[in-house]
């Protein structure tokens, strides 16, 4: 440390006698842990661009040259006496993947003790170099001591729903390395295609890698891809995988393969139906979104032999500490109807299908542990009992991550809000990706370590990751569009020790966006979306309203449902309301147009903030905003229940006069979300005897239009302490639906009692 300070002072002195420049904005992403900038900059002519590599493989020099050439157009030469010096020293006192970078009149010195540190010193240097009109290279004087906050800084990439070439994978890895991300979670197989060559089971790729057509017709409708008739698919040979793993390693990226099991396995099971439950019917390789019935039979011993064989070849290819085994969204009904699976449940004392999945995962974990590896899986592996050494990837919100960390398991945080980058980041109709916006700001400001994790268990959060599911991104340019600029946010969350002010980060992102042309990347537009946060106060029957926008432009709003104009109120700070409002808010583009208007209705109705019981639990990822999701006063954030009815009993707390009830449900069939086929309203004074006050029987609606269905009913005033709503689910997707028979969702909004 003392040494460090001396250098800073020396740098300042030298600078003072040479150039008198203002300290510059460095625009580094991710922001370094310690940065001391001095006035002035090192100026190098093209003859001075010599790099000396101490104790470093010359291949690193090639890599470094590639980086600076793309960004600044310059090329380094290599010599013992270079003014730019990179040094690898295993005894150096820095953290893993850390580096020291010093730039003074003496030159540039970068020191690291491992490959990660070298790569990251190079990535920081790349961002610091500028070249003036006389071809003089300028690098600002500074001292950096830098190292990562988390050991797992990941990006996931789904190559099953759409296939991407080796070169595209390499570009993806380049983008990760540019942002000091170090873990590539490669989602290699799913219901829509198996992409990894396994020599012992050639049909996995001969058959499992190909589907009849591109599918995902919504993409064709949007013009994202064209031909839909050819067989579609592809896979990576083992040689290609080795090449990719080596390419990643040079960039300090570990490739974590995902061998998805037991569900999401239609492609494997079409190739090898003998590992499916007998009499479970036929499977197809899917060409649409959703989850097929394809699941490995948990009863047959041969299933485990097959999976261990697949894993054996996988371990040969991937040296990673962790192997991802999926574990999400397992269709377990097939198991319950299978005699082999039933027998297994009995033999293993598994009381239900969740415990059978737990048996499955524990058995796979034993194999991985015996071969020196660790298992990581999606948070459903918690259901039915977590395998003893497993790490958990929390995607259905953060609840799974909290539970796992509190139980002493390692966790990677990748909650679908906001870390699913396959969702759009703006409201342009033509943007590729899933609906449901996750803005750059959402990603940057999300609290990655939940307060509910006790101090002693926080270290179990080993990292963060952005996920990229490719259903609605058929081309690599769509991946780039959704990756940028959000990759900057996840990078900084994963690397930098503290969150910095949003406006400051936004400014650095602006400077980065200017460089993307050099990479032929078209980033997603920064949103004009205005977030409306509502913080209900149930005791007070009031709510605090806060607006959040990405852009520093003014936010205009109205509270009576009218459309904001430039004459509307301008937001300055949060405010409290205690009467019904219909808020509309927006920002205006420079040309005066509005990209989108955000709105939220808040109703202080008679069930506002009242507790309720749901007979069938909502899915954790669709919690409607938490405990009071159905009575929190605001409309638009829905509670999602799979297959079962929304059967809810609200306790009004005291006998109350009720004369109107309104329910709202989402109908979005192409997202497997259907309005109820019947809705009944009942009231009760004692919680035992109920009187029906309304019934709606829309039946199964045959429509692929996204809409909110509203069922208002006024009736003669009645006295009630309890209000019960029973909304019958369609259960499974109807015959006319592309996924006929698959489990359907029922999404309920606020239940408004007046």
Task: Write down the least CB distance from residue 452 to ligand ACM, Å.
Answer: 21
Which of residues 216 and 378 has its CB atom nearest to ligand ACM in the complex? 378
Q: Which is nearer to Zn ion, 332 or 409 (CB)?
A: 332
Q: How far is the CB of 211 from Zn ion (least distance, A)?
A: 25
Out of 87, 114, 329, 480, which one is annotated catalytic? 329
The answer to whether 190 is a known catalytic residue is yes
Q: Closer to ligand ACM at the Cβ: 210 or 378? A: 378
Q: How many CB atoms lie within 10 A of CB 399?
A: 17
Catalytic residue among 190, 258, 480, 550: 190
Which residue's CB is nearer to Zn ion, number 277 or number 602? 277
Tell me the torsion sign for CA atoms 499, 501, 506, 512. Answer: negative
Known catalytic residue at 91 = no
Name the site residues for ligand ACM (rule: CB under 6 A): 328-329, 378, 395
Residue 87 or 379: the one with the smaller Cβ distance to ligand ACM is 379
Instruction: Please state at what angle helix 238-250 crosses helix 166-178, rounded to 10 degrees.
Output: 20
Binding of residue 338 to Zn ion (CB under 5 A): yes
Gap between the Cα atoms of 87 and 659, Å rounded: 77
Q: Which does 299 bind (CB under 5 to 8 A by kind): Zn ion, ligand ACM, none?
A: Zn ion
Q: What is the distance between the alpha carbons of residues 331 and 326, in angstroms, rounded to a whole number? A: 13
Which of 259, 164, 153, 19 has the alpha carbon at shortest distance from 475? Answer: 164
**Binding test (CB under 5 A) with Zn ion, winner from 107, 208, 263, 299:** 299
DSSP element (H, E) containing 211: strand 210-211
- 88 contact, one of ligand ACM, Zn ion, none, CB 5-8 Å limit per kind: none
Q: Which long-range contacts (CB under 8 A, 24 or more apart) does 349-352 make?
A: 350/384, 352/384
- Single out the catalytic residue among 156, 185, 187, 264: 264
Beta strands in 45-177 (DSSP E): 50-54, 77-78, 84-88, 99-104, 107-112, 130-131, 137-146, 152-158
> Annotated catalytic, 460?
no
For residue 404, the minimal CB distance to ligand ACM (Å) is 15
338 binds, among Zn ion, ligand ACM, none (CB under 5 to 8 A by kind): Zn ion
Which of 100, 214, 256, 277 forms a contact with Zn ion (CB under 5 A)? 277
Question: What sign results for the dihedral spanned by CA atoms 386, 392, 396, 402?
Answer: positive
Of 255, 341, 387, 638, the one binding Zn ion (CB under 5 A) is: 341
Residue 395 contacts which entry, ligand ACM, Zn ion, none (Cβ below 5-8 A, type-dependent) = ligand ACM
Binds Zn ion by CB under 5 A, chosen from 103, 209, 285, 297: 297
378 interacts with, out of ligand ACM, Zn ion, none, CB within 5 to 8 A per kind: ligand ACM
Closest approach of Cβ 395 to ligand ACM, in Å?
4
172 phi, psi to nearest 5 deg:
-60, -45
- Radius of gyration in angstroms for the set of CA atoms belonging to the chain, rounded to a whole number: 28
| E strand segments, 13-151 | 34-44, 50-54, 77-78, 84-88, 99-104, 107-112, 130-131, 137-146
CB neighbourhood size of 743 (10 A): 19
* Spatial contact of 131 and 138, defined as CB atoms under 8 Å apart: yes
Query: Which among 183-191, 276-284, 404-412, 683-691 is the span making contact with Zn ion, rule CB under 5 A?
Result: 276-284
Q: Does 262 bind Zn ion (CB under 5 A)?
A: no
682 binds, among Zn ion, ligand ACM, none (CB under 5 to 8 A by kind): none
Which positions are annotated as active-site residues? 190, 264, 329
Q: Which residues bind Zn ion (CB under 5 A)?
A: 277, 297, 299, 338, 340-341
């Amino acid at each position: 440390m003392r040494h460090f300070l001396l250098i800073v002072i020396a740098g300042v002195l030298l600078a003072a006698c040479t150039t008198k420049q203002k300290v510059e904005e460095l625009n580094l992403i991710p922001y370094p842990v310690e940065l001391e900038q001095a006035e002035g900059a090192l100026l190098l002519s093209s003859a001075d661009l010599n790099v000396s590599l101490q104790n470093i493989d010359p291949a690193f020099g090639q890599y470094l040259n590639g980086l600076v050439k793309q960004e600044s157009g310059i090329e380094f030469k290599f010599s013992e006496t270079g003014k730019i010096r990179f040094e690898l020293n295993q005894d150096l006192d820095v953290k893993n993947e850390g580096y020291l970078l010093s730039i003074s009149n003496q030159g540039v010195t970068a020191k690291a003790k491992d490959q990660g540190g070298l790569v990251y010193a190079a990535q920081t240097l790349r961002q610091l170099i500028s070249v003036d009109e006389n071809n003089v290279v300028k690098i600002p004087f500074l001292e950096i001591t830098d190292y990562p906050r988390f050991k797992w800084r990941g990006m996931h990439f789904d190559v099953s729903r759409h296939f991407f070439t080796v070169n595209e994978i390499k570009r993806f890895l380049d983008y990760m390395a540019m942002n000091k991300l170090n873990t590539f979670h490669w989602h290699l197989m799913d219901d829509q295609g198996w992409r990894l060559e396994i020599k012992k089971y050639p049909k996995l790729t001969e058959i499992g890698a190909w589907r009849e057509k591109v599918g995902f017709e919504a993409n064709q409708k949007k013009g994202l891809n064209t031909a839909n008739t050819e067989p579609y698919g592809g896979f990576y040979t083992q040689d290609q995988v080795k090449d990719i793993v080596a390419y990643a390693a040079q960039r300090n990226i570990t490739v974590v393969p995902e061998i998805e099991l037991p569900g999401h396995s239609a492609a494997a099971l079409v190739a090898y139906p003998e590992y499916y439950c007998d009499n479970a019917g036929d499977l197809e390789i899917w060409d649409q979104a959703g989850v097929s019935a394809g699941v490995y039979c948990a009863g047959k011993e041969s299933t485990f032999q097959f999976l261990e064989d697949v894993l054996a070849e996988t371990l040969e290819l991937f040296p990673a500490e962790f192997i991802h085994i999926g574990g999400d969204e397992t269709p377990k009904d097939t198991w319950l109807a299978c005699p082999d699976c039933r027998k297994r449940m009995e033999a293993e004392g598994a009381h239900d299908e969740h415990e059978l999945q737990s048996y499955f995962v524990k058995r796979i974990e034993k194999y991985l542990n015996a071969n020196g590896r660790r298992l990581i899986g999606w948070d459903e592996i918690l259901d039915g009992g977590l395998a003893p050494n497993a790490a958990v990837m929390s995607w259905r919100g953060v609840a799974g991550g909290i539970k796992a960390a509190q139980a002493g398991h390692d966790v990677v945080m990748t909650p679908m809000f906001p870390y699913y980058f396959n969702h759009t980041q703006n409201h342009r109709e033509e943007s590729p990706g899933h609906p449901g916006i996750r803005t750059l700001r959402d990603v940057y400001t999300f609290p990655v370590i939940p307060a509910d994790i006790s101090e002693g268990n926080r270290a179990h959060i080993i990292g963060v990751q952005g996920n990229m599911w490719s259903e609605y991104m058929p081309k690599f340019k769509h991946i780039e569009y959704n990756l940028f600029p959000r990759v900057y946010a996840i990078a900084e969350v994963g690397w930098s020790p503290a969150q910095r002010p949003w406006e400051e980060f936004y400014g650095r992102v602006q400077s980065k966006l200017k460089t993307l042309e050099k990479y032929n990347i078209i980033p997603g537009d920064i949103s004009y979306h205005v977030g409306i946060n509502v913080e209900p106060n149930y005791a007070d029957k009031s709510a605090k309203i806060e607006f959040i926008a990405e852009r520093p432009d003014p936010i205009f709003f109205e509270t009576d449902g009218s459309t904001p104009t430039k004459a509307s109120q301008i937001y300055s700070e949060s405010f409290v309301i205690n009467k019904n409002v219909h808020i509309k808010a927006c920002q205006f583009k420079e040309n005066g147009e509005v990209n989108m208007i955000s709105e939220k209705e808040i109703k202080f109705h008679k069930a506002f903030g009242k507790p309720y019981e749901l007979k069938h639990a909502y899915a954790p990822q669709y919690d409607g905003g938490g405990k009071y999701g159905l009575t929190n006063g605001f409309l638009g954030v829905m509670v999602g229940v799979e297959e079962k009815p929304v059967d809810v009993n609200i306790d009004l707390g005291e006998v109350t006069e009720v004369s109107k009830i309104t329910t709202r449900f989402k109908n979005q069939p192409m997202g497997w979300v259907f309005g109820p086929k019947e809705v009944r309203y009942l009231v009760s004074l004692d919680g035992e005897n109920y009187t029906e006050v309304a019934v709606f029987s829309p039946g199964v609606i045959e429509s692929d239009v996204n809409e909110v269905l509203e069922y208002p009913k006024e009736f003669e005033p009645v006295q009630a302490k309890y209000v019960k709503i029973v909304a019958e689910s369609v259960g499974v997707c109807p015959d006319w639906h592309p996924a006929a028979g698959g489990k359907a969702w029922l999404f309920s909004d606020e239940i408004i009692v007046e």
